[in-house]
Amino acid sequence: MTVTVADSFASAIAGIDDALRCQSRWGCERAAAWRLVLHPGCGAVLVCTGHRDAFVDPVVACVEEYGAVRCPYCRQVFVGSIEAMVTVKPL
Give pLDDT, residue 15. 64
Give the model confidence (pLDDT) of 6-53 as tens digits.
777 777 777 666 679 999 988 899 999 999 999 888 889 999 999 999
Identify the burial level of 51 via C-beta atoms within 10 angstroms of its C-beta, where 0-12 means exposed, 13-18 middle and 19 or more buried: buried
For residue 9, the model assigns a pLDDT of: 76
* Per-residue confidence (pLDDT) for residue 16, from 0 to 100: 67
pTM, two decimals, is 0.74
Backbone angles phi, psi at 89, to 5 degrees: -125, 135
Task: Name which of 12-16, 33-37, 66-70, 71-75 the model is least confident about.
Answer: 12-16
